[in-house]
Structures are given as C-alpha cells and as structure tokens.
Amino acid sequence: MTTHDPVLDLACRMPKAELHVHIEGTLEPDLAFKLARRNGITLPYADEAALAAAYDFDCLQSFLDLYYACADVLRTADDFRDLMLAYLERAAVDNVIHAEIFFDPQTHTARGVPIGDVIGGFVAGIEAGRARWGVDASLILCFLRHLSEEDGLATLAEAEPYLEHIVGFGLDSSEKGHPPRKFQRLFARCRELGKPVVAHAGEEGPPEYIREALDLLGSQRIDHGVRSVEDPALVARLVRDGIPLTVCPLSNIRLCVFDKMEQHTLADLLADGAKVTINSDDPAYFGGYMNDNIRAVQAAFHFNAAAWYRMARNSFEASFAEPAQKAAWIAQLDAAFAVDG
C-alpha cells in the first residue's frame, strides 16, 4: 500500500517475522460461516455482520468467551488446513516471511477433535502455504492457563507423537488469577523434551507474572510484557538479557489494556533498548494483521526507519529458527533497507 509516509511504506514492505499470532484468532467471519455450513453447525449470529458486530470487548475475558465459541466451527483436518492457509495468504501480503503460530489444542480436544487431526491439518496448511506464497511457518503448542496443570500434562502426552511438527510451547488464555507458577512441572517437562518455551505475561497480569515466567517456567520470550514498565528493575533485566517481547498493539487497544495507542508502552520499551517485536495476536478480532498494526503504531509514534529496522531485526533474532536461517532473513532485511532506507 502506498502512503505519503516513506518510512511507513518501508515498514510495510520490509520482510519480517510474526512471533505472536493465535491461529484460532485468524478465523474471519466469512470463514467461520463457511465452516459452520460445511459442518452443519448453527452459529448464534444471523450473519457475518452480526458476528463482527459482537467484536466489542472490554477485557481479555470478554474476547476469550467469543473466541472459544467461534472455534467450535473447526471440526476436521480440512478445517484446520483451510484456516492456516487463509492466515498465510494474508501474512504474505504484509511481507511476513516467517511465522511462529500458536494453536490451542485443548480448545479442540475438549470437543472430541483428535489432536492428530488438529496438527495434521495445520501441517498440511503450512506445507501448501510455503509452496504457494513462500511463507515459512512453524507451530507453537499453547496450554490454556484457565485449565489445570494436569490437563496440560495430559495434552502434552497426547502431543508427543507429533513433536517433530512443534517448534516450542506456550501459555495463553485468562491471565489474571492464573500465574505462571501454576505450570512449573508442565513447563519443566516441555523443556526436558528439548523445546523452547514462551508465555503470555504482563498483558493484563502484573510484572510479577513476567518474573515468574522467566524464573519458574524458563520462558525465552515474553508474549505481550507491556506491563513490565511498572517495574523498572524488571525492564533493566529484560534489556540486559535481551528477552524478546512479542508486543501486539491493536490487541492491547481492543482489549482495553491502553485507552489509546499514544499511551502504549512499546515506544518507551523500545527506547530503553528492550527487544520489542510487533505482532497481530488475533487479527480477525482486533482490527488487523501485521501491517495494520504497523500503521496504527506509526500513526501514534512516527518512528524513523532505524526503529522499524530494529523491530524487524528483533523479530528474526527472536525466532526459534536455525542461526543460518536467521542470518539469511536478516540479509533480506538489510537488502530492503539498502535500497530504500
């Protein structure tokens, strides 16, 4: 998209990685109705417009209630493949060349969908998406923190035959009242399996949850982390240790973490030297994909090209790809800035 702001054009055009997107949160109303029809399900909304009109959230939980309800249309491996394909097609438009994609198996296995159909469908979508649009993608299995640690351990056992398709593990869902310390045994087991772990922390929850995610779960990235600014010693630690923060600007506005983008803490975190990345979280529900987030951030903060380079570079450095692959992506990024920057 051409705009009058050359820095924004460059930020939209630059290659980048998306490290915080929930595949269930990419379910657009048209696909939700298509899958509902295909599976003989009646959604409790008259049409796509009525569903979209329900996207009026006042906190994380108000969103999650709808997000889990809509996920009910996902029943077969083909449904999971089609959802993945729709996201990858959209990501390619925004020059996302690598995505590490969260999925919530418990949302599906609790409804009787076999985990093999969930993962098999996603893998088929990733392979087709790579062939069609050249987007590289991998899967991060997220545990739902409103459920018990035992439920998470049972899900991990079910997932073990499919470990080759899973790049890492995460923790999501209702943050308040479900601190990371609830999941220490589960995450120890994930780490024993040789996979990196991440956790949502400091989205609605306090900075203490970020410390727990780091100290008790071994989280290698913090998803959101925007409330870290309330604890300057914690920010100093995040900067010193280069802990990536996968920040989701439009999500934070739609879920009322901040009233206005101008109040978002990402600019201060970036200025402090934190390893900030930009991500879309649940783009179908929050008003946009990667470049919509970039446009909203740029409208509020008017960053220069160096800041956008930094965030894109952070996204590759923070990924769980092999070092040689990261270096190749960063060379692509450098080339985009050498021509345009």
264 binds ligand ADE (CB under 6 A): no
15 binds ligand ADE (CB under 6 A): no
Write the DSSP string, 231-289: -HHHHHHHHHHT-EEEE-HHHHHHTTSSSSGGG-THHHHHHHT-EEEE--BSHHHHT--
Site size with Zn ion, rule: CB under 5 A: 1
CB closer to Zn ion, 75 vs 275:
275
Ranges within 246-285 binding Zn ion (CB under 5 A): 281
Instruction: Spell out, one character per residue from 147 to 166, where the chain touches ligand ADE: x when CB under 6 A holds, - when not.
Output: --------------------
What is the smallest separation between the CB atom of 304 and Zn ion, expressed in angstroms? 28
Residue 136 binds which one of ligand ADE, Zn ion, none, with CB within 5 to 8 A depending on kind? none
Q: Report which residue's Cβ sits closest to ligand ADE.
A: 172
280 binds ligand ADE (CB under 6 A): no
What is the smallest separation between the CB atom of 194 and ligand ADE, expressed in angstroms? 25
Q: Report which residue's Cβ sits closest to Zn ion.
A: 281
When binding is defined by CB under 6 A, the residue of 107, 251, 265, 314 that contacts ligand ADE is: 251
Residue 254 binds which one of Zn ion, ligand ADE, none, with CB within 5 to 8 A depending on kind? none
CA–CA separation, 164 vs 64, rounded Å? 29
Among residues 66, 23, 55, which one has the least CA distance to residue 289?
23
Report CA 110 to chain centroid distance, whole Å: 22
281 binds ligand ADE (CB under 6 A): yes
- Contacts with 37 (C-beta within 8 Å, 6 or more apart), sequence order: none
Instruction: Spell out, one character per residue from 177 to 206, where the chain touches ligand ADE: x when CB under 6 A holds, - when not.
Output: -----------------------x--x---
CA–CA separation, 55 vs 294, rounded Å? 21
Q: Is 100 a catalytic residue?
A: no
CB closer to ligand ADE, 212 vs 282:
282
- Contacts with 7 (C-beta within 8 Å, 6 or more apart), sequence order: 298, 303, 304, 305, 308
CB closer to ligand ADE, 251 vs 277:
251
CA–CA separation, 303 vs 186, rounded Å? 40
Q: 306, 314 in Cβ contact below 8 A?
A: no
204 binds Zn ion (CB under 5 A): no
**Distance of CA 168 to CAs 2, 75, 297, 320, 321, Å?**
36, 24, 28, 8, 11
Question: Is the C-alpha dihedral spanning 123, 28, 98, 267 positive or negative?
Answer: negative
94 binds ligand ADE (CB under 6 A): no
Residue 79 binds which one of Zn ion, ligand ADE, none, with CB within 5 to 8 A depending on kind? none
What is the smallest separation between the CB atom of 4 and ligand ADE, expressed in angstroms? 32
CB closer to Zn ion, 94 vs 281:
281
Query: What is the three-class DSSP state of 90?
Result: helix
- Contacts with 253 (C-beta within 8 Å, 6 or more apart), sequence order: 259, 260, 261, 264, 286, 296
Ranges within 16-75 binding ligand ADE (CB under 6 A): 22, 25, 60, 67
Q: 244, 210 in Cβ contact below 8 A?
A: no
Query: What is the three-class DSSP state of 223?
Result: strand
173 binds ligand ADE (CB under 6 A): yes
| Given 18, 24, 100, 203, the catalytic residue | 203
Question: Is the C-alpha dihedral spanning 48, 250, 293, 134 positive or negative?
Answer: negative
What is the smallest separation between the CB atom of 58 and ligand ADE, expressed in angstroms? 14
Residues that are catalytic: 203
- Which residues contact Zn ion (rule: CB under 5 A)? 281
- Which residues contact ligand ADE (rule: CB under 6 A)? 22, 25, 60, 67, 172-173, 200, 203, 251, 281-282
